[in-house]
Every structure is written in C-alpha cells, then in structure tokens.
A and B are shown apart, each in its own frame.
Chain A
Amino acid sequence: MQKHLSMMLAGLLAIVLQAGSTASAQDFPSKPIRIVAPFAPGGSPDVIARIVAEEMKDDVGQPVVVENRPGAGGNLAAEYVLRQEPDGHTLFLGTTGNMAANKSIFKSLPFDPETDFTPLTLAYASTNVLLVRKDSGMKSIQDLIERAKQKPGSITFGSPGVGTAGHLIGEVFGKRAGIEIKHVAYKGQAQVIADLRGGHIDISFEAIATAIQAIKSGDMIGLAIATKERNPKLPDVPTFQESGFDNFAFQAWALMAASSKTPPAIAQRLNAALVKAINSKPVREKIDSLGVQVGTSSIEEARALLKAEVALWREVVKTTGFKPLD
C-alpha cells in the first residue's frame, strides 16, 4: 500500500516537474547550451558546430559551447545526450552515419535515432566525388569500368573505414557497374587521400570538401559526383546519372537534434535560433568555404529526411550484402 502511494506520488511529482519545464519555455535557455559533437575536435562537422555555436550565442542570450565526446561511432555521445535532462540545453550533432546509416550497419544500437531524438533542423549537406589520379589514364567512369573488367580485382578503392559512406557507396558502385573493386579500409580521410595521391590505391569516393581541394591542386580528377545535378564548384565533373547510373545520389548531412522528450515549445525555439544562426551571412560564408552546402529545415522536414535516409541506407546495406557489425 505504502509502496503504491509513494509510486503515485513520484508519478505526480514527475508530471508536475514536466509541466514546470514546459511552462518555462518562455525563459529558455536558462543556462549555457551544449552542442555535443560525437567526434574528436577537428574535421568538418566539429568545425561547423563551432561556427554555428559562436553565431548563436547572441540570439539565445546564453553561451553555446561545443563538447566533444568521441567514441563508438557516435553511440557514446548519443547515449550521453539522452542521459541529460531533456530541457533543450543539450543538443546532439547528428550525421548520416550516427543517425541513419548506423541503424543498418550495426547489429544493434543502444538507442533509436528516430524515436529517441527530435531532429531540430538540418545544418548542411555534402556529397561524395569519385576521385582518381590525373596520371592514372582514366578519364571517365567508362575507362574505369573497362579497366576493372580487363583485370578483375585489380582496382582498389580506399575509404575511411568499414561501414562508412565512402565504403558503402563504393560497394554499391561496384555492384551496379558489375565490376569487382577491392575495398581497402583506412583510419581516416587523410590516410586515404595520402595513399591515393601516392598511387598506392586507385580510386576513392571522397567527401566533396576534400575532393574540391584535391582537384584544385591539379593532380586529381573527379570522374563523377554522387548528386542529382552537377555542383557549381565542380562544373566539369559529371553526375553518376549522366554516366548511366540512375538514382545514384548520396548525401552526407549533419543535423542538430535533441532528446525527443524535449518540450515542443523549446524544440521550436531551438529550431528558430539554429536556423537563424546557420543562415546568417558569416556562417554561410565559412561553411561554404569548407565546400559543403548550407541547408536548414523545419522540424517536420528534418524528421522526414531522417526517415528517408534510414530507409535509403537500409536498402544500401541490403544491396551490397554488407554484414552488420557487432
């Protein structure tokens, strides 16, 4: 009896507290906002989060800080965010990997990106470019396919790790082109580009930021870009579509998310602040210089994107026959 009573009391208390926090949407934020980045410092998503945080602090009237909690493909950071008070003061920097692809790449995730998180807005989108060395003699996708068919298994492609976008896109490409290309896994993008430049591997599906830099420096060429239309920064690089690969389009995006238990009013307030900051001129300029595209959205749009992307990567994992990781 007493146990029941105390449980009821606890439940009541929880409701009161919940209501209390909903009501306080007016004076949100009441303390510094933390953006938890699931990577070590450096790298595009982390740098972009810092740029956005810097811009956002005046609007919300509180400091906005980036906290790095790297580890386990983003799972540690996600779990950490979900453990915090769901009052909108702790945000999560979600990416294609940790929010969409990991669900199919790993046998099990300690959280569900779609139900445990509310995506607040999209932040940016980037894509992949198929890169080869200029002196490789390959000038088009057809050249590449021909060479791979002449000597099966002789073409190697690098990626920054098993289960990364660069890896899976390569596998999808191999399947669709009907060729055998050998995957070589690395620990990060920098290692891939070093070995690609040095001629130790043949091709790589590089993030567009790296690709632009490599093409500009003159020793690499892009054979195709994985978007529906050509990129204005790389006008000479055809799309996969143009080269006969229908619907071969992949995005690497980042979004801001909060626990799905966050009161809706606060989520809306955060959406407004984030969209304003991301769309501001200084942020746009800086993100643009990193070679990625700024793109904001409403909460509903972000949710729809997340759903579509989870489905897309489930499909990718199915087509490539990728064995989920433990």
Chain B
Amino acid sequence: MDLLANLASGFQIALRPDALLFCFVGVSIGTLVGLLPGIGPIAAISMALPLTFYFDPTVALIMLAGIFYGAQYGGSIASVLLNIPGDAPAAVTCLDGYPLTKQGRAGLALFVSAISSFLGGSFAILVLMGLAPTVAAIALKFGPVEYFSIMLLGLIAGSTLSVGSPVKGLAMVTVGIAIGLSGVDVDSGRARFTFDLALLRDGVNLVALATGLFGVAEILNNIGKNAAVTLTAKSVSLRSMIPSYAEMRLVWLPTLRGAVIGSIAGSLPGTGPTIASFMAYATEKRTAKDPSRFGRGAIEGVAAPESANNAAVQAGFIPTLSLGIPGDGVMAVIMGALMIHGIAPGPQFIAENPGMFWGLVASFWIGNVMLLILNIPLIGVWVRILAVPYYLLYPSMLLFICVGVYSINNNMFDVYFVLLFGVLGYFMLAFGYPAAPLLLGFILGPLMEEYLRRALLISGGDFTVFVLHPISATALLAGVAVLLIPLRGYLRARWLEHGTS
C-alpha cells in the first residue's frame, strides 16, 4: 500500500508539465547521442549540466537520467543497421542484429530491440521501487574477492560467444586481455605496454576498439564486393517489423532473463551495462537448444542483451542513490549534479527526499514509454538508411566514426587507433577469428587482474578466500559448470565426426 501511495505521489511530480517536457527533451537527446558512435551520454550530460542549474533539482535529475537511458535505445540502432556499436554494450547487439539486417529483417530486429529495452527497463524499475535499500545492502557485500570470481565467470561464459572455432575464440580472449593490459597498472602505478606514448597511460579506448573491430572492419570488408544489404519494399513494411507468434514465443524468456541479469549487474557498483549485455547474451547461447543459430541472426541474441543493458542502466541508480556510490562515469556526473543542488545521495537519500526519488522512478516509466512511442514509428525511417547506395553510405559512416571517436578525448590519436583496430578486425574477419571474445577479454581481463591482486593484497596472499567466500564460491562453481557443458557437446561432436568418416 505504502508503495502505491509513494508511486502515486511520484507520478504527480513526473506528470507535471515541466517534468514531462524535460523528460522528453532528455530522452530525445539521449537517442540522438546514442546513435552517434563515440558521443556517449557522458558528454551529453556534462553539456546539459550547467543548464540544469536553473531547474528544480527533481526536473534536472529527470532530464539527465533521460539522456542516459535514452542513449541505450539509440545505441542499438547503428549496431543493428550498420554494425557500428555506439558504445560497448551495443557491440553485443551487433552480433545477431547485423546478421538479421543482412537477411533483410532489420525492422524486426529494431522492433524487438525497442520492446526488449522497454521490458528490461521496466523490470529494473520494479526492482528499484521495491528493493532498492535491500539490494544496496547486498551490493556492499561484493568486494574484490567476489568481483574477481564474477569476472572469471564472465570470461568463461563469454569466451565462446561467437561463431566459429572455439580455440580461435579463446585465443581472441587472451589477445583482448593483452590489449587491455596497456596503461597504468592500478596496483603498482607502473605504466605497462605504453611504449612511451602519453595517451596510452590510460589504456586503449574501449569505444575506439569496438568501433574499429566491428564498424571499420565491416566497411573494409564490404567495399567493392556489392555485399551491402539490399532493401526491398517488404523490409520496411510494418508487417515485417512485428514479430510473429513463433518469434514472440522465442523472445519472451530471453528478455526476462536479460532483465534479471541486467538488474543484478546494474545494482553492483563494480559491474554495469556492458558486462550485463555480454552475460545475458552468453546465457542465451549457453541455454539455447541450437547454439549455432547465434551470430547468424538469432532474434533472442538481440532481445536478451538489449533487455539486460537497459535494466542495468535503470538499476544503476540503486547504488548511486542509495549508497552514494556511482557505478560508472555517467552515474558520477549525475551524482555531481545532485550534489550541486545540495542533495547528498546515500543511505538516507530515499527517506529524506521521497518526492525526488519517487518522482524519478515514475519519470523512468514515462520516459521509457516515450522512447517506445518515439522509436517504433522511427524504425521505418532508420531502415531506409540502408537504401542509400553503399558508395555514399560508407564514407558517411567513416565520418561519423572519426568525429565520434575524436570527441571521446578530443584527441586525434584515437582516430588512428580506430584505423588500426579496423585493419586488425578486417584481417580477423578474413582469417575466421571472432571479434566479440576479443572485446570481452579487453573489458573483463584487466578488471579480473585488478580484483585478483587487490583480493590477494587484502587477504595477505591467501588464495583460499576465493572458495571460502560464499558468493565467490558460487560464481566459481558456475564457471566450472559452464566450462564442462559445452566440452561434453564438443567431444561428442568430434567423436561422431570421427565415427562416420
């Protein structure tokens, strides 16, 4: 009852004309910046920040949050249509979204992505409403030991998340980890693999890596091959966008699982949307009856990560608001905005600012509905991008990539990096080495090292902590299980192969 009353008061705030207007402004800006590679929500939120000094703090927060989750909707569009991930979580959407586009089913992929994002976001909002303080208290139990085991589980689960040879996939994971090693080592403060380049002190930029490996490599591969997607009138019709009954049945469970994974990953300050997407995708591939469909246009491969990353974004407000611990850079900026308005996020936040908390939660829902209404009619428009002849499309894509990547650090160095990784991705594609495991290794590997060394430092070099901490032990067991399941299938397949030849 209390909950309903709170929510009702929240809607009263979120439905005020000014709140509605700025919620709309926020989600629209978010969709736009999400579309452009490199120009992420952090940049947009920082730019909008000074404007919000003149706002009521709740409205300011509603708008800034709108930019953040709006960007997640936008991010999937360029991934599905052009294989250009706007940010890291969207790279996962590329894996099956782009193959669907090549099959002329871009409309369907975008529709499912929008609906799944909406459902994932909604699920996380429910968690935020009902369980924020509880979840926050549990999240604090996760220390270096637990995070290490989770990262290890993530690496194991994700290491075969692409098509093709598992050994090549594994090799790409280690190459990804190696690339991720570049930069200042957190534990010792030593610069590693920086080759005396000042810019490498902070490591290789994630967006430059993802955009190069996926976007530029795909462009290099397509030029001159007339391999670009052909667009028929049928592929933009409304009929083709709406999933069939069979497709809906295929999608609803993955969406739900993605929402759960995303809500968990978002609630933990040490994980976020990117890890959520990878985990959700890996889970679907692992549990699928026919894992070989993944990477070749499986609609669940779009639904699960999209649901997960949106859920993670919404759930990310739990540690930020109820602990005062921002999970990532975007949350840090949002927290800064609150503090300027004289509001300190922390365990007392919800009790002290019920109007703001419930108003924000209500606005999430309104914003997600707005995004859905905004996105579905636009799908037809986006899909028509594919009708542009490739000789006009690809130089334009390259421009967006260049400017977007430049804007991350305002440094041209990153543009050369995109080219470098584009070329690497091009060769990898040609030789059958998958890009997704490389990206996963790049993201998780350095985190794993960081947590491992921190855990050992705190425990005084005692390795048993990893099996003695219950959460960590569970994650490690899950990792072993994940490792054994496909091995059985692989061995059986090899045995059959040899048996028949």
Contacts and interface: CB of A to CB of B under 8 A. Distances in A.
B199 A71 contact: yes
A194 B329 contact: no
A72 interface: yes
Given A41-B329, A70-B202, A72-B198, A201 B50 contact: no
Contacts of A325: 189-191
Contacts of A44: 336
A289 B337 CA distance: 11
Interface stretch (A155-163, A223-231, A254-262): A155-163
Interface stretch (B104-112, B220-228, B318-326, B425-433): B318-326
B195 to A, nearest CB: 12
Given A71-B198, A286-B340, A43 B324 contact: no
A110 B198 CA distance: 10
B49 A213 contact: no
Contacts of B319: 194
Interface in A121-174: 153, 156, 161-163
A72 B324 contact: no
Interface string A72-98: 110110010000000000000000000
A33 to B, nearest CB: 15
A33 B455 CA distance: 46
Interface stretch (B149-157, B206-214, B344-352): B344-352
Interface in A26-65: 40-44, 46-47, 50-51, 53-54
19 contacts: A41-B329, A42-B42, A42-B46, A47-B49, A47-B336, A47-B339, A71-B202, A71-B411, A153-B460, A156-B458, A161-B186, A182-B457, A187-B186, A191-B270, A193-B324, A197-B140, A213-B346, A218-B347, A286-B340
A248 interface: no
Contact of B201 (A73, A190, A218): A73
Given A184-B458, A201-B458, A216 B50 contact: no
B50 A289 contact: no
A312 interface: no
Contacts of B337: 47
Contact of B324 (A110, A214, A282, A326): A214
Contacts of A291: 339
Which 7 residue pairs are nearest across A and B when measured between Cβ atoms?
A162-B189, A217-B346, A41-B46, A200-B143, A42-B333, A198-B140, A42-B332
Interface string B242-277: 000000000000000000000000000110000000
Interface residues of B, number: 53
Name, among B187, B191, B332, B347, the residue most crowded by chain A CB atoms within 10 Å (CB to CB).
B332
Contact of B336 (A42, A185, A193, A195): A42
Name, among A53, A67, A161, the residue most crowded by chain B CB atoms within 10 Å (CB to CB).
A161
A43 B188 CA distance: 24
A290 interface: yes
A199 B458 CA distance: 11
Contacts of B340: 47, 51, 286, 289-290
B454 interface: yes
Contacts of B460: 153
Contact of A185 (B187, B323, B411): B187
Nearest to B332: A42
User: DSSP class of A's interface residues: helix, strand, loop or mixed?
Assistant: mixed
B46 A68 contact: yes
A300 interface: no
Contacts of A70: 202, 409
B144 interface: yes
A198 B147 CA distance: 13
Name, among A46, A73, A76, A326, the residue most crowded by chain B CB atoms within 10 Å (CB to CB).
A76
A323 B193 CA distance: 20
Interface in B34-77: 42-43, 45-46, 49-50, 53
Given A47-B336, A71-B411, A153-B460, A200 B45 contact: no
Contacts of B326: 190
B232 interface: no
Nearest to A288: B342
Given A69-B410, A198-B143, 15 more contacts: A40-B42, A42-B329, A43-B336, A50-B50, A71-B198, A76-B198, A156-B457, A194-B270, A194-B323, A199-B143, A213-B345, A214-B346, A219-B347, A286-B53, A286-B340
Given A72-B201, A161-B189, A217 B347 contact: yes
Interface of A: 40-44, 46-47, 50-51, 53-54, 67-73, 75-76, 79, 110, 153, 156, 161-163, 182, 184-187, 190-191, 193-195, 197-201, 209, 212-214, 216-219, 282, 286, 289-291, 325-326
Contacts of B346: 213-214, 216-217
B341 interface: yes
Contacts of B335: 42
Contacts of B323: 194, 197
Contacts of A40: 42, 329
B141 interface: yes
A20 B339 CA distance: 45
B186 A186 contact: yes
B449 interface: no
A53 B53 CA distance: 13
Contacts of A187: 186, 450
Given A75-B198, A218-B347, A51 B140 contact: no
Contacts of A201: 458
B469 to A, nearest CB: 11
B142 interface: yes
Interface in B397-431: 409-411
Given A71-B202, A163-B189, A190 B348 contact: no
A185 B458 CA distance: 11
Nearest to B51: A54
Name, among B42, B50, B319, B450, the residue most crowded by chain A CB atoms within 10 Å (CB to CB).
B50
Contact of A53 (B50, B187, B333, B454): B50
A278 B281 CA distance: 50
A198 B46 contact: no
B324 A67 contact: no
B325 A197 contact: yes
A217 B53 contact: no
A53 B323 CA distance: 30
Nearest to A290: B339
A67 B43 CA distance: 10
Contacts of A289: 339-342
B278 to A, nearest CB: 20
A41 B43 contact: yes
A191 B144 CA distance: 10
B340 to A, nearest CB: 5
Nearest to A282: B53
